[in-house]
Amino acid sequence: MPDKPWLTHTPPTAEKIPVEIARHGDTRVDDYAWMRDPGYPEVTDEKILAHLKAENAYREAVMAPLADLQETLFQELKGRIKDDDSGVPMRKGDWYWTWRFDAGAQYRTYLRIPLADGPDGDAATVLDENLLAEGHDFLAVRGLEAEPGGQILAWAMDTDGSEQFTIHFRDLETGADLPDAIPGTSGTFAWSTDRQTLFYLKLDDQQRPSSVWRHRLGADVADDVLVYDEPDPGFFVGVDLTLDERFIVIGCGNNETSEARLISADQPEAEARVVEPRHTGRLYDVEHAHGRLYILTDDTHPNRRLVTAPADAPGRDNWQELIAPSDDVYLSDHALFRDHLVVSEREAAVNHLRIHRLSDGAEHRVDFPEPAYSIHLVGHREFDTLEIRLVYHSLVTPPTVFDYHLETREKTVRKVQEIPSGYDAEQYVSEREWATADDGEKVPVTIVRRKDTPVDGSAPLYLNAYGSYGATIDPYFSTHRLSLLDRGFVWALAHPRGGSDLGRRWYEAGRLEHKENTFRDMVSVAKHLAAENYTREGRITLSGGSAGGLMVGATINRAPELFHAAAGHVPFVDMLNTMLDDTLWLTPGEFPEWGNPIEDEAAYRRIKGYSPYDNVTAKGYPHLYITGGLSDPRVTYWEPAKWLAKLRDLKTDDNAAVMRMNMGAGHGGASGRYEHLHELAEEYAFLLMIYGMSEAG
């Protein structure tokens, strides 16, 4: 193989067609604005399609000499997946529900078992995604929920990655699909307890879930009834059924303001009642049990408190505090069961579960052995239960499904992820470090490596982060990363400001006028990891997706010398142009996160100062592996395409720069469980190539 195989092929040269964009007395020139098809979301412009295909062809040519390595990596990745995997049956009503992967199958089959037969009884198929996927390059199924009696199944299906879902119905007693089909939805819905009525979310012209509609089985979809229409273009709408099946909850809001409405689940035609009118800057979420609402709110403290109120008088004047707010503990979520309240809370960048007994207020936390981990309440479908189902994992511990008894505190393991090719957790070590940011803040970073990987600065390091919207990425297990760890990589997960890892203040310190803290934190983390000899400066791959791609682009603009490579997955990089275009479906709802550069000059100047595309300059950049999706509605395909074109034009190095534009999928890439592995094997082969490690593959 040539020393730099990417130089043996000529990359596409994107034509420059300067377009002047004036705003707030400032004029910018965008040479690649032509890459946005004027007919979007349809992309039919032959020039645009030809350029994207040329980028794919160039990447394929660069990667062709690594075909054997990619196949080796693919077989490794596939070998760690149980071919005939299955889920743990979960009770709902008179049935146990579960799923399985048949050997060789790309998609799941969903099944159910009569309650009387027990969870190990004979299972009947209710939906086979593999059959639904026939004739399609992409499939995503959302929802999959039977009405409370268990006879009619509803599910939502997207076959092109555009996130426009059509809701379908099946009679599980006869196996026949009903003629009802509801297109143009978000895929989110909730059944009424009358067993005939479905509430669902319809997408508007900008693909925003903006309204709730009511459909009655057998009725013409054209006659469906509008239940709620959200007038604020920056608010997204949601709908759900409380676990005790008493209320349909219609929620609407953005990252700083929310409002909820209730409809009695047994009276689907009743008018929705507001819990508490919206107040800008105030968030709340509601659950229900025994005639009372349990409300998680930030009305008195950014880390939130939990209050209760009568369901028939839910306004703030009647709120009674149940769990007080704390400077150190962030209350992130809550779930209600017959006798217990389960609260997810975060302290010192670690997630905990608090169990609160409703009868007397007695509390305890669920104990876990590792210092950094991920714990989630999953699949809870029964209100009247003393056992909840949890999934626990860490950077070294495979996902473990267990049932937790809320009174005895007993953990019963139901499943541990099986890794057919073998895995020995004793060969790996996970560590928590705290990097000092340039303003003195301590930034958590969680690390995993093989125990025999030297900590002397010689190891390459893969650094991943997100850092926006208050989202947190807890330390999670991945069989995929073993292909890097076993080749001597260190893998690190940073928790910069912009997430909620250290509470709401951590989020507030990484949004709006404080957004650049996210990128400064990543520079500090990279320098800290080098100073602690996990790697050295210039030997790090920085990775992130979507808004994490914004983090990647802004950080390598700021300190490219720290990084050997950057992986930007569907990266939000043409940020200023996107935020100036309120015809795009996400833009109005993004203003609380970034600011409104359309109306606010200060926000315009601020975003312009870090928008990755706008700040590419003539200097050396790391090797670049970039992905995009032609039908991606969240980060439009032209963002990564324009970013790469500008980088190619201005960067002064001869490092590799390739892009995989998925022409048949959206934000999440390929949908089949094995198809995705081909894409991952390619990225890993690219990294091994540019680190000079491909011969050892």
pLDDT in tens, 402-445: 999 999 999 999 999 999 999 999 999 999 999 999 999 999 99
Q: Active site includes 500?
A: no
Note whether 549 and 524 are same-domain residues: yes
Domain assignment present for residue 496? The answer is: yes
Q: CA-to-CA distance for 125 and 521, rounded, in angstroms? A: 49
CB 199 within 8 Å of CB 249: no
Of the candidates 246, 274, 302, which is a domain's last residue? 274
Note whether 92 and 203 are same-domain residues: no
Conformation bin of residue 414: beta by default, left when phi > 0, alpha when psi is -120 to 50: alpha
Note whether 99 and 222 are same-domain residues: no
CATH code at 660? 3.40.50.1820
Domain assignment present for residue 513? The answer is: yes
**pLDDT greater than 90 at residue 673:** no
Domain assignment present for residue 662? The answer is: yes
pLDDT in tens, 78-107: 999 999 999 999 999 999 999 999 998 999
Note whether 230 and 204 are same-domain residues: yes
Closest CA to 435 of 530, 553, 347: 530
Note whether 535 and 651 are same-domain residues: yes
Three-state secondary-structure class, residue 220 = coil
Note whether 534 and 651 are same-domain residues: yes
Query: Angle 154-183-225 (CA atoms, 0-180°, nearest 5)?
Result: 80
Catalytic residue among 468, 500, 546, 631: 546
Domain assignment present for residue 438? The answer is: yes
Of the candidates 256, 274, 292, which is a domain's last residue? 274
Q: pLDDT grade, residue 664 (50/70/90)?
A: confident
pLDDT in tens, 333-390: 999 999 999 999 999 999 999 999 999 999 999 988 888 999 999 977 899 999 999 9
Q: CA-to-CA distance for 591 and 584, rounded, in angstroms? A: 12
**pLDDT greater than 80 at residue 174:** yes
Q: pLDDT grade, residue 666 (50/70/90)?
A: low
Note whether 126 and 265 are same-domain residues: no
Question: Number of structural domains, the chain?
Answer: 3
The reported pLDDT for the residue numbered 692 is: 93
Note whether 571 and 655 are same-domain residues: yes
Of the candidates 227, 256, 274, which is a domain's last residue? 274
Place of tokens 């994490």: 548
- The arithmetic mean of pLDDT across residues 22-27, rounded, is 97
Q: Which amino acid is at 205?
A: D
Note whether 686 and 572 are same-domain residues: yes
φ, ψ at 407 (rounded to 5°): -100, -50
**pLDDT greater than 60 at residue 696:** no
CATH code at 225? 2.130.10.120
Strand partners, 330: 346
Secondary element (H or E) of residue 423: none
N residues, the chain: 697
**pLDDT greater than 90 at residue 570:** yes
CB 208 within 8 Å of CB 236: yes
Q: CA-to-CA distance for 322 and 72, rounded, in angstroms? A: 55
| Domain ranges, residue 252 | 139-274
The reported pLDDT for the residue numbered 369 is: 84
Note whether 110 and 180 are same-domain residues: no
Note whether 488 and 598 are same-domain residues: yes
Domain assignment present for residue 443? The answer is: yes
**pLDDT greater than 80 at residue 667:** no
Domain assignment present for residue 395? The answer is: no
Note whether 538 and 560 are same-domain residues: yes
Domain assignment present for residue 358? The answer is: no
Closest CA to 545 of 664, 446, 461, 626: 626
The reported pLDDT for the residue numbered 3 is: 80
Q: CA-to-CA distance for 385 and 89, rounded, in angstroms? A: 15
The reported pLDDT for the residue numbered 160 is: 87
- The arithmetic mean of pLDDT across residues 282-303, rounded, is 97
Q: Active site includes 546?
A: yes
Place of tokens 């609380």: 592
The reported pLDDT for the residue numbered 669 is: 62
How many C-beta neighbours within 10 Å does residue 518 have? 27
Closest CA to 31 of 48, 20, 17: 17
Domain assignment present for residue 340? The answer is: no
The reported pLDDT for the residue numbered 633 is: 84
Catalytic residue among 298, 521, 614, 632: 632
Catalytic residue among 258, 631, 667, 671: 667
Q: pLDDT grade, residue 206 (50/70/90)?
A: confident
Average per-residue pLDDT for the chain: 95
Q: Active site includes 359?
A: no
Strand partners, 415: 401
φ, ψ at 456 (rounded to 5°): -135, 15
Query: Angle 78-488-653 (CA atoms, 0-180°, nearest 5)?
Result: 100
**pLDDT greater than 90 at residue 501:** yes
pLDDT in tens, 41-63: 899 999 999 999 999 999 999 99
